[in-house]
């Protein structure tokens, strides 16, 4: 066990008993949504995992410790302090741990810590990817490289719609990462159920996804799996409707000189403002949907 890793008693007991566990990230709490919706979402997602028959393990860095499973008090602190807490990708872990800081883990760092703990399924909202204009900025999320490193399946509503989805899929292919459409042949685009980009693999049940994961790792094929789970129809914002809103928000970010890890939180906040909260409601709905599927997959791995 990693000397910097702390498992909550509930999580440790579930792992020891070989019961299903689902990892959850903390950046979505600290940087993805405003308070108090972020706290309500975090608690609802953990409950959705429990209702699905698995143990939730929200991951964060707390006073320099890699914590897998958070108390209600710590969840509240991350929700209330939000942007004051460092957003931590894999590259930031040594610094944050050494300085004993608080850190909200991204998809990449959550995957890495989940793998350290022996957790194979992780539910999030949307993964990072290749940003638009990356041919000039080289802005490519560390999430993609992490899929080549950590043996964790990530249930996601596709990549964030603010990204270049075609190039994101190309990079995942180059890294040898299976991209599975859950009940779909079209890669979902976060707020929208379809992006127009086909997925190379389709699975229609959690059991099929679990079997793919087991076959991959049993063959010694290192790395994760993208499980692309479309947002529920009733919560969807069609691509044609959200696209101009995203373009507007991206233009504002560029004019304001916002770049790097600050881009995504800014864009998510502006989208929520421009859509009068509709994008936030969609975000919450898709995260809950992913948590439910992740619990089913985790149960089928047992």
Residue 92 CA to residue 200 CA, distance in Å, equals: 33
CA 246-90-99 angle, to 5 degrees, is 115
What does the buried/exposed string (b/e) look like for 95-119 if buried means 16 or more CB atoms within 10 Å of the residue's CB?
Answer: ebbeeebbbbbbbbbbbbbbbbbeb
Phi-psi region of 260 (alpha: psi -120 to 50; beta: other; left: phi over 0): left
Q: Is 25 a catalytic residue?
A: yes
Q: Is 208 a catalytic residue?
A: no
Catalytic residue among 160, 261, 269, 299: 160
Sign of CA dihedral 105, 109, 111, 114: negative
Q: To 10 degrees, the CA torsion angle through 50, 222, 214, 16?
A: -50
Catalytic residue among 25, 46, 236, 296: 25
Which tokens belong to 281?
């409601």
Residue 269 CA to residue 277 CA, distance in Å, equals: 9
Q: What single DSSP character describes residue 67?
A: E
Q: CA 184 → CA 179, 209, 261, distances in Å?
A: 11, 13, 30
Known catalytic residues? Answer: 25, 160
């Amino acid at each position: 066990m990693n000397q910097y890793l702390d498992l909550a008693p509930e999580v440790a007991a579930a792992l020891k008993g070989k019961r299903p566990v689902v990892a959850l990230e903390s950046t979505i709490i600290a940087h993805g949504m405003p308070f108090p919706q972020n706290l309500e979402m975090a608690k609802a997602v953990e409950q959705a995992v429990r209702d699905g028959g698995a143990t939730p393990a929200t991951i964060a860095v707390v006073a320099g410790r890699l914590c897998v499973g958070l108390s209600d008090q710590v969840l509240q602190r991350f929700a209330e302090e939000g942007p004051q807490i460092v957003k931590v990708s894999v590259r930031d872990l040594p610094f944050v741990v050494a300085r004993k800081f608080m850190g909200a883990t991204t998809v990449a760092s959550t995957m890495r810590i989940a793998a350290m703990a022996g957790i194979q399924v992780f539910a999030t909202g949307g993964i990072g990817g290749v940003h638009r204009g990356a041919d000039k900025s080289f802005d490519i999320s560390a999430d993609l490289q992490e899929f080549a490193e950590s043996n964790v399946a990530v249930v996601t509503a596709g990549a964030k719609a603010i990204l270049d989805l075609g190039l994101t899929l190309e990079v995942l292919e180059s890294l040898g990462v299976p991209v599975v459409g859950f009940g779909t042949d079209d890669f979902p685009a976060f707020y929208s159920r379809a992006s127009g980009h086909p997925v190379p693999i389709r699975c229609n049940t959690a059991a099929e996804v679990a079997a793919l994961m087991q076959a991959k790792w049993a063959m010694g094929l290192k790395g994760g799996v993208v499980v692309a789970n479309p947002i529920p129809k009733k919560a969807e914002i069609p691509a044609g409707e959200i696209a101009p809103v995203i373009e507007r928000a991206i233009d504002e970010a560029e004019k304001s000189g916002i770049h790097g890890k600050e881009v995504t939180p800014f864009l998510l906040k502006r989208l929520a403002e421009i859509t009068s909260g509709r994008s936030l409601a969609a975000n919450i709905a898709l995260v809950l949907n992913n948590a439910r599927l992740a619990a089913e997959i985790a149960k089928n791995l047992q």
